[in-house]
């Protein structure tokens, strides 16, 4: 016979509720940060300098063969004025005979050039206009043409090369008054302009060629020039 469930005593062996589990104290709730590694240094000290090798190198002495010592005979103290250009020896200054012969040859060249130019000019005028042009009868025009041609010839050659055709044939050259430096174009033109002055004084302007120590005529003194014998180039050996 089964008893009434209402009157049955409670079963004490089966609990009515399960208690919550206790927290696990063996596992920590948080992990602490790792400690720094003290075995490895945080910074490396700089290396010590090598005291076995010297840090300074003695300067090298200059090579006497590369930079020779100045010559005491030619060197000048600081601030001194430059030494004047050496003058040419009197033997290289051209004499009267060679200069006269060169000038006569140059005058002949100028006269032939003017005569030939006048003939060509007159022929061209006759061909173009049909009119006969006689320049030989006009002395004034011929004189002016000859003077202009003479001035252009001498001034041009002296300014460019220092020698005219006649002077080059006799080995002469117009230079600076020191006898070594080439004459400037301005000095050459001034010499050509003052050359007639030596002729106008009854030829007295040429006496300096005979009596001056450097054989300078009046026009040479005014222009600051001189006439020398040009050095001839030595023949080349083949």
pLDDT digit string (tens) for 202-238?
A: 999 999 999 999 999 999 999 999 999 988 765 555 5
Give the mean pLDDT of 120-135: 79
Domain ranges of the chain: 90-229
pLDDT digit string (tens) for 165-209?
A: 999 999 999 999 999 899 999 999 999 999 999 999 999 999 999
Identify which has the larger pLDDT, 150 or 15: 150
Task: Work out the burial of residue 218: count CB atoms within 10 Å of its CB; fewer than 13 is exposed, 13-18 middle, 19 or more buried.
Answer: buried
Give the mean pLDDT of 98-108: 96
- Sign of the Cα torsion 7, 8, 10, 16 reads negative
pLDDT digit string (tens) for 129-171?
A: 887 766 655 677 778 888 999 999 999 999 999 999 999 999 9
Which pLDDT band holds residue 127 (cuts at 50, 70, 90)? confident
Residue 227: the pLDDT is 96
pLDDT digit string (tens) for 48-91?
A: 656 565 556 656 666 655 555 555 455 555 565 555 555 556 56
pLDDT digit string (tens) for 73-83?
A: 555 555 655 55
Residue 78: the pLDDT is 58
Rg over alpha carbons for the chain, rounded to the nearest Å, is 57
For helices 96-129 and 139-160, give the axis angle rounded to 10 degrees: 120
Rama region for 221: left / alpha / beta (φ>0; ψ in -120 to 50; rest): alpha
Q: To the nearest whole number, what is the mean pLDDT of the chain?
A: 77
Rama region for 79: left / alpha / beta (φ>0; ψ in -120 to 50; rest): left
Residue 74 is encoded by which pair of tokens?
């030619």
| Under 8 Å between Cβ of 191 and 223 | yes
Residue 1: the pLDDT is 47
Residue 115 is encoded by which pair of tokens?
């005569």
Question: What does the DSSP assignment read for 173-224?
Answer: EEEETTSSSBPPHHHHHHHHHHHHHHHHTTTGGGTHHHHSTT---HHHHHHT
Residues 6+ apart with CB under 8 A from 132: 126
Residue 76 is encoded by which pair of tokens?
């000048």
Question: What does the DSSP assignment read for 41-71?
Answer: -SSPPPPPP-SSS-S--PPPPP-TTTSPPPP
Which pLDDT band holds residue 124 (cuts at 50, 70, 90)? confident
């Amino acid at each position: 016979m089964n008893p009434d469930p209402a009157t049955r005593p409670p079963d004490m062996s089966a609990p009515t509720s399960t208690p919550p589990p206790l927290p696990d104290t063996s596992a920590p709730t948080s992990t602490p940060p790792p400690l720094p590694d003290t075995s490895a240094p945080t910074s490396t000290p700089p290396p010590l300098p090598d005291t076995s090798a010297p840090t300074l190198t003695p300067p090298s002495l200059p090579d006497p063969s590369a930079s020779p010592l100045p010559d005491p005979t030619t060197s000048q103290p600081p601030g001194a004025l430059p030494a004047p250009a050496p003058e040419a020896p009197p033997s290289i200054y051209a004499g009267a005979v060679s200069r006269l012969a060169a000038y006569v040859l140059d005058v002949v060249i100028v006269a032939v050039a003017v005569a030939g130019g006048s003939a060509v000019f007159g022929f061209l005028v006759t061909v173009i206009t049909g009119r006969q042009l006689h320049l030989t009868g006009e002395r004034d025009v011929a004189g002016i043409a000859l003077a202009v041609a003479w001035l252009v010839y001498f001034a041009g050659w002296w300014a460019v090369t220092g020698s005219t055709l006649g002077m080059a044939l006799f080995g002469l050259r117009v230079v600076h008054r020191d006898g070594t430096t080439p004459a400037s174009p301005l000095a050459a033109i001034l010499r050509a302009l003052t050359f007639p002055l030596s002729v106008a004084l009854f030829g007295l302007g040429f006496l300096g060629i005979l009596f001056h120590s450097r054989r300078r005529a009046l026009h040479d003194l005014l222009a600051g020039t001189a006439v020398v014998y040009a050095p001839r180039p030595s023949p080349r050996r083949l």
